[in-house]
C-alpha cells in the first residue's frame, strides 16, 4: 500500500500559524508516508524571506520524494515588473527549478502542472494544451497497476459551499484529457477548504462510466481557512491499495492541540466501478459469499 501525505497553502508570511506548522510536521512523521505532496501557495507574497522559511519547513518533512507545485501566491502580485518578467525567480531559486515535474514511486506516477498564470489569470489559474501533452507523455510510461495522479494548485471542481473563486477556465476540457490519460486522482488546494469527491458530481455525463477522484486540501498552516473550514487547518492522508483508495481528511482541533481525523472516504480504483470488498473493514466482503474473494484466511486483503 502506498501512503501519500497531501498538504497545501502553507502561506509563509503574515498568515502562517506556527502551531499548525509544528503540528503538521509531527503528524507527517507519524503518518510515515511514501510520498509528500504540497499543492501550492507556499508563500503569501513570494518574498525572499518567505521562501527561505518555506524551504526550511520542507526540509523538515519526512525524507521521501516530495512533489510541490507553485500557487498564485508564489508569484509577486504587487511587484508588477517582477511578475511580468521574472515571476518564478524566487520559486526556482529556493524551491525547485522545474515548474512541471514527473515523480515515479513504487505504485504511482505523479505529474505536477504549474497552474499559476501570473500574466493572464493570477487568481483562477490556467492549464494549457502544452502542459497536458507533457502529462500525457509521462503517463504513457506508467505501469498497468500504477496510480496516475495529477497535481495542480487551482481547483477543477468547486466545493459545494464555495461560491467565490471560479475554477480553472476550460476545466471540463482538462478533465476530459485526464480521463483519456487514465488519471484516477487529482490533488489540489487554493480554496482553503478541503473537498473530496468525484468529478461526475460536477460534470455528469452519460458517456462516462467512472469519474476522477478530486482531492482538495484546505490551508494546512495558515489562518486563512474559508467556508466550512473558516479559521481551520487541514491536510489529507491518501492510501492507495490494489483495489481501492482510502482518503482520511485531518483537521486541527484546539482541544487536542493538533490534527485529528475528521472524515474518511473510499473509492474503487480506476478499473473498477464498485467495491468487491469493504475498504473500511480490512477486506470484509460486501458481495455474497462465493461472488468475490481475494483475502487470506484472516480476511485481509494483500
Q: How confident is the model over 137-162, as pLDDT tens digits?
A: 999 999 999 999 999 999 888 777 66
Average pLDDT on 182-196 reads 94
Average pLDDT on 38-62 reads 98
Summarize the chain as % helix, strand, coil (round to 5).
Answer: 25, 25, 50
Q: Does some domain include residue 301? A: no
Number of structural domains (the chain) is: 1
Domain of 10 in residue numbering reads as 2-271
Reported as type and span, the H/E element at residue 171 is helix 171-181
Q: Does some domain include residue 302? A: no
The arrangement of strands across the sheet holding 108-112 comes to 101-105, 108-112, 147-151, 185-188, 213-216, 195-198
CATH number at residue 152: 3.60.21.10
Q: Does some domain include residue 165? A: yes
pLDDT number for residue 178: 95
Enumerate the β-bridge partners of residue 112: 101, 151
Buried b (16+ CB within 10 A) or exposed e, 124-160: bbbbeeebbebbbebbeebeeebbbbbbbbbbbbbbe
pLDDT number for residue 121: 59
Q: Does some domain include residue 276? A: no
C-alpha cell at 189: 488546494
Average pLDDT on 37-61 reads 98
Amino acid at each position: 500500500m502506498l501512503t501519500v501525505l497531501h498538504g497545501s497553502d502553507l502561506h509563509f508570511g503574515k498568515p502562517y500559524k506556527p502551531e499548525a506548522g509544528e503540528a503538521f510536521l509531527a503528524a507527517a512523521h507519524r503518518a510515515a508516508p511514501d510520498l509528500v505532496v504540497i499543492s501550492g501557495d507556499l508563500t503569501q507574497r513570494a518574498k525572499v524571506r518567505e521562501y527561505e522559511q518555506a524551504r526550511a519547513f520542507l526540509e523538515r518533512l519526512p525524507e521521501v520524494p516530495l512533489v510541490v507545485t507553485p500557487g498564485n501566491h508564489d508569484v509577486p502580485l504587487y511587484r508588477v515588473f517582477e511578475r511580468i518578467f521574472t515571476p518564478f525567480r524566487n520559486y526556482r531559486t529556493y524551491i525547485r527549478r522545474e515548474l512541471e515535474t514527473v515523480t515515479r514511486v513504487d505504485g504511482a506516477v505523479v505529474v505536477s502542472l504549474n497552474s499559476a498564470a501570473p500574466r493572464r489569470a493570477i487568481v483562477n489559474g490556467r492549464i494549457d494544451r502544452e502542459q497536458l501533452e507533457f502529462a500525457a507523455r509521462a503517463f504513457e510510461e506508467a505501469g498497468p497497476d500504477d496510480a496516475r495522479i495529477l497535481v495542480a494548485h487551482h481547483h477543477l471542481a468547486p466545493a459545494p459551499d464555495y461560491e467565490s473563486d471560479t475554477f480553472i477556465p476550460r476545466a471540463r476540457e482538462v478533465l476530459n484529457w485526464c480521463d483519456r490519460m487514465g488519471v484516477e486522482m487529482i490533488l489540489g488546494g487554493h480554496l482553503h477548504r478541503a473537498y473530496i469527491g468525484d468529478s461526475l458530481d460536477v460534470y455528469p455525463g452519460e458517456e462516462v462510466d467512472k469519474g476522477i477522484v478530486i482531492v482538495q486540501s484546505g490551508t494546512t498552516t495558515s489562518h486563512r481557512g474559508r467556508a466550512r473550514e473558516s479559521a481551520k487547518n487541514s491536510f489529507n492522508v491518501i492510501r492507495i491499495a490494489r483495489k481501492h483508495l482510502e482518503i482520511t481528511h485531518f483537521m486541527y482541533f484546539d482541544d487536542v492541540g493538533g490534527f485529528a481525523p475528521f472524515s474518511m472516504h473510499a473509492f474503487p480504483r480506476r478499473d473498477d466501478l464498485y467495491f468487491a470488498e469493504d475498504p473500511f473493514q480490512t477486506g470484509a466482503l460486501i458481495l455474497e459469499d462465493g461472488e468475490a474473494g481475494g483475502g487470506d484466511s484472516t480476511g485481509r486483503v494483500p
